[in-house]
Amino acid sequence: MSEASPKKEFALAGLKSLAGNLAKLDQVATEGRVLELDPSQVVPSLQVRTSFIEIEELADSIKQGGQHTPITVGPMDTDTGKYPLLMGERRWRAVQLIPGLKIRCIVDASQRSAADLIKAQVTENEQRNGLLPHEVGIAIQRYKEARLADGVKLTYPQIATEWSKPLHYINVHAGLTDLPECILSLITNNITRDSEMLFSLKTLHKLEPETCEKFIAEAKDQPDLLTRATARNMAREAKARATQQENGGNATGGLNGNAGAEKQSGASGFASTQAASTAAPSSNSGAGEEQGSAGAEAVAAGQVDVGGTGRSAEPSKGSESGQAQGAPQEKSRPKSVTRDIDANRIVIAVNIVREETTKGLLLVNKVVDGQPGKCVVEITKQGKQTELIVDTDCIEIVTMAELAAIE
């Protein structure tokens, strides 16, 4: 067999080089232009959106009025002749339901990192048909991992800055990445997309799965039960019960007795929780009453180390916590009783919710000058009491009680 002559090899290499250059020129020529492609020429890539709903409705809209906004694709892969989809998967899926219709695309050859592409997809989706709450959480997690792969370890406050979002938004959505099926069904069945409510329900499910599942089942039949305040208060009550059990307290009296009645009475019990939530002048006020009662029980007679700080609190006079542990369980909670105390004697135990939850005390006698969105908390770190300045939207009040008197 005769070997190819040097001239032929040179010519063949020249043709390959020319073909490559022509492909590059074609990419440059198409960059920024609107192309009409067959949907099969576009291949999807990893997207922040994972649930594609109402695609048929979108297809009908495109069929009647046309595709107003092109999708965004990357440069054509010269090996496959296809374009990677960057943004617009809902439109791409909808066009595929319309036989013979071409899809309008814009080629974006920008060199983006994986993290930048995730952020761009989140922004684009929020401007159109917003992402579902858990999809935002997954996007936050992927963004954090992508930045870590680039050698940058980010905290949630730093992500909030880079995304131009409130820290509370990042904290709440980051906690929605692994929702139980019963909570996820509220989203997929288009019952609610309230991230605050979903976060509270997830907290409740983690502590008391059966209570959460029962509440959701009944709320599907009675949608009025499903409110942010009700979910938040049920989660707080479950936390109070868990705290009492951890500290060997009576987990069946007072507030827990009320919760037990809710479990027994079904929808009427949940409705009573909702009524307690809405009867207060504001959500904070309503939370304060329940936390005051829970706090009195949780720190009764100095049994509980408030917020892990080594300081104890005493129950308010006339509160349910003054009952003996052997007292009979009550089916419902009596009306809350309030009394005035010296503001310097109030103990507010809090959770500092960041990447990890830390217990502490809110210092009501200190403020951060010029920064009303921040507060001062005291935590115990390595056996020593330390003061921290944190964002107020990271603070979750657990209990409120009076500082125990020193004999």
Token pair, residue 46, equals: 């990893």
Token pair, residue 34, equals: 């609107």
pLDDT reported for residue 305:
44
Q: Structural domain boundaries of the chain?
A: 20-111, 301-321+341-407
What phi and psi values does residue 98 have, to the nearest 5 degrees?
-110, 100
Confidence of residue 113 (pLDDT cuts 50, 70, 90): confident
CB 139 within 8 A of CB 118: yes
pLDDT reported for residue 407:
47
**What whole-number distance in Å separates Cα of residue 405 and Cα of residue 311?**
11
pLDDT reported for residue 329:
52
Confidence of residue 301 (pLDDT cuts 50, 70, 90): very low
Confidence of residue 223 (pLDDT cuts 50, 70, 90): confident
Q: State in Å, rounded, how far the first CA of the chain is from the last one.
A: 108
CB 223 within 8 A of CB 267: no
Q: Reply yes or no on whether the pLDDT at 57 is more than 60.
A: yes
Whole-structure pTM value: 0.48
Residues 160-211 pLDDT 10s: 989 888 888 898 899 998 999 999 999 888 888 888 899 999 999 999 999 9
Query: Which is higher by pLDDT, 303 or 309?
Result: 309
Q: Could you tell me which residues are beta bridge partners of residue 401?
A: 347
| Domain 20-111 indexed as CATH 3.90.1530.10 | yes
Residue in 42, 103, 107, 41 with CA at minimum distance from that of residue 74: 107
Identity of the highest mean pLDDT range in 7-16, 246-255, 302-311, 349-358: 349-358
Mean pLDDT of 218-225: 84
What phi and psi values does residue 152 have, to the nearest 5 degrees?
-120, 115
pLDDT reported for residue 8:
56
Confidence of residue 112 (pLDDT cuts 50, 70, 90): confident
Mean pLDDT of 118-123: 79
Q: Which ranges of 72-208 does DSSP label H, i.e. alpha helix? A: 89-96, 114-127, 133-149, 156-163, 167-174, 181-188, 195-207
